[in-house]
């Protein structure tokens, strides 16, 4: 077993501090890095809902450092909503026939 440079007593290999005099034998391992996850206001969800992809990108850029998980979800929601816009128009047209009449109803 190695000897403590301060008190000269033996200490176990894996110890960071000397068990006899509390002398620091090794550099203290840094604490595990935890990704900062701050609360993201629920108001940010309005952006992708109202502006679809544009709002999703804005919400993502604004919140990615605060909470990358939520920011990615907001971006994803914006992408989903932008895909949904033509589907909504198609569904609306299917139900009402409004656009079909507009374009093909001319004599």
Residues within the interface to Zn ion (CB under 5 A)? 4, 6-7, 18, 20-21, 23
Q: Which is nearer to Zn ion, 9 or 69 (CB)?
A: 9
Q: Which is nearer to Zn ion, 3 or 76 (CB)?
A: 3
Residues 35-61 as b or e (16 or more Cβ within 10 Å = b)? eeeeebeeebbebbeebbbebbbbbbe
CA 7 – CA 28 distance, rounded (Å): 20
| CB hemisphere CA count around 100 (13 angstroms) | 8
Q: Are 80 and 72 in contact (CB under 8 A)?
A: no
Q: Are 59 and 44 in contact (CB under 8 A)?
A: yes
Q: Which is nearer to Zn ion, 18 or 77 (CB)?
A: 18
CB of 13 to Zn ion, least distance (A): 14
CB of 29 to Zn ion, least distance (A): 19
CB of 11 to Zn ion, least distance (A): 7
CB of 36 to Zn ion, least distance (A): 37
Q: Which is nearer to Zn ion, 5 or 107 (CB)?
A: 5
């Amino acid at each position: 077993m190695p000897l403590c440079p301060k008190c000269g007593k033996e200490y176990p290999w894996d110890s960071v501090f000397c068990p006899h005099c509390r002398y620091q034998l090794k550099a203290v391992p840094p604490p595990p890095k935890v990704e900062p996850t701050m609360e993201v206001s629920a108001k940010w969800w309005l952006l992708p809902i109202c502006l679809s992809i544009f709002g999703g990108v804005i919400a993502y850029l604004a919140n990615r450092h605060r909470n990358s998980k939520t920011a990615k979800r907001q971006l994803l929601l914006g992408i989903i909503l932008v895909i949904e816009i033509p589907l909504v128009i198609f569904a609306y047209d299917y139900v009402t026939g409004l656009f079909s009449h507009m374009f093909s109803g001319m004599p």
